[in-house]
Amino acid sequence: MIVVTGGAGFIGSNLVKGFNDQGRTDILVVDELSQANKIKNLADCRFADYMDKDEFLKAVQTDSFDVPLEAIFHEGACSDTMATDGRYVMQNNFTYSKALYQFCQRNKVAFIYASSASVYGAGEVFEETPEFECPLNVYAFSKLAFDNYVRANPPKGFQAVGLRYFNVYGDREQHKDGRGASVAFHFFNQYKDQGHIKLFTGSGGYADGEQRRDFVSVEDVVKVNQFLLENPKVNGFYNVGTGRSRSFNDMAMATLNALHKLEGKQGVLSLEQAISDNMLRYISMPEALHGKYQSYTQADISALQKIGYEQPFYDVEEGVARYIERLWQQTEREEVI
């Protein structure tokens, strides 16, 4: 049996569905459902069992599982990059992860977990080595603290991999609050509700909307996780991104053009036309983000390629178009209901 923590969340539920698509249903989903609308993420998924995250932690600490576990995909975490309760964040992202890791050490269970590209902070080199790591907030600090715990206690006789996700977008994120969802999801809803998309004005030496991130489809994230399960000798830390930074303007235009096509309109909108037609507007960055905002990220995926991962990643235009079409179809179904 494989375990997916955070299994009703964004990446976790996509992993469950991805394993279902491979024919696997021997999955234990672990989550915390005080936010009950997350169940929609699992509505079309099949799994063998479900446990609350506190119940699962007790079972981990006492080694009390009825069936052997093959792997734990640890996606559960406090993912709010603007969280200010450091004690809560460390309990969820460091202490909980450490207990799972120690269980995997004792029982030789593969441990593949979500780290984060936020550990690189404001740097412009994104290689999986300590000299380029400098977190800007407590969320990033918690992720790096656990990475460093793994470094200090390297795996012996079992697989342990930390995946440093860059800016992930895609299906099954609709439950997230305003701060947690991807910009593609925000852009879609802004356009549907207000007829325009909002971006930040220039910062960090970048012009309006030209701040750059490595935007990666959750479809590709699932494939990387599946690849690692199929390659149990692989250990270490790996960036998961496309290897190419794109501007927020690029993301906005990919969204607008996908919606333009779905509305039955002809032609491809340009950035200049979108600004002129007031479909794209720029707003000031909130004070709370000053000094804590990554204006540029671009995954160095050479380490991932070196271990044999050769699948191409969706570029922004194709990946966003696929996602926006599914959001559009879902919205239409909900309006009919």
Residues acting as catalytic residues: 139, 176
Residue found by looking up tokens 């119940």 in the block: 55
- Given a contact cutoff of 8 angstroms between Cβ atoms, the answer to whether 48 and 28 are in contact is yes
Give the CA dihedral 57, 63, 69, 72, nearest 10 degrees.
Answer: 30
- Helix, strand or coil, per DSSP, at residue 237: strand
In one-letter notation, the amino acid at residue 324 is I
Say which DSSP state 312 is in.
Answer: P
Identify the DSSP state of 6: T
The rounded distance, in Å, linking the Cα atoms of 281 and 324 is: 20
Separation CA 8–CA 170 (nearest Å): 14
> How far, CA to CA in Å, does 102 sit from each of 61, 152, 199?
9, 13, 43
Rg (CA), the chain: 20
Quote the tokens at residue 192: 């549907």
Distance CA 222, CA 168 (A): 11
* Distance in angstroms (rounded) separating the CA atoms of residues 112 and 160: 6
Per-residue tokens: 333: 């179904």
Give phi and psi for 226, each to the nearest 5: -65, -40
